[in-house]
Amino acid sequence: MSITLLPQCGELPLSAPSPVAMPLSLPHAATRVHAVERPDGVETGVWECSPGRWRRQIMQAEFCHFIQGCCRFIPDDGEAIDIRAGDALFFPANSAGVWEVTETVRKSYVLWPD
């Protein structure tokens, strides 16, 4: 197994913007990413999203640390969670809900299979 370094996550160059898959608002939010996928199915990277509202598509377990911006996650089975730069979250596998980004967010993350 090799060690993965994501240097200066707040400044790391990311991909070209792509629209979110299930938008719930206009304008459509767009994401940018720098991802590293390992042969064992673990993915780590930096993800950024512009303001908007959409359904969460990632169903793997995820740990993430927010580097900039602010947003809200509304779980299908719980209360809204307000998130801002400096916060960290853990999503168990199959966590469903709605993202509401009010200020462009950037986070580092780790996804892993069940």
Residue 40 belongs to domain with CATH number? 2.60.120.10
Q: Is residue 9 part of a domain?
A: no
State how many domains the chain has: 1
- C-beta separation of 101 from 69 below 8 A: yes
Sorted by sequence, the CB contacts under 8 Å of residue 47 that are 6+ apart come out as 31, 32, 33, 35, 64, 106, 107, 108, 109
- Domain residue limits at 55: 18-111
Q: Is residue 6 part of a domain?
A: no
pTM: 0.93
Q: Is residue 106 part of a domain?
A: yes
Q: Is residue 3 part of a domain?
A: no
For residue 93, what pLDDT is reported? 95
Q: Can you read off the two tokens belonging to residue 13?
A: 């160059």
Q: Is residue 24 part of a domain?
A: yes
Q: Is residue 5 part of a domain?
A: no
Calculated CA dihedral for residues 13, 18, 23, 29, nearest 10 degrees: 40
Per-residue pLDDT 10s for the chain (114 aa) are 678 899 999 999 999 999 999 999 998 999 999 999 988 889 999 999 999 999 998 999 999 999 999 999 999 999 999 999 999 999 999 999 999 999 999 999 999 987
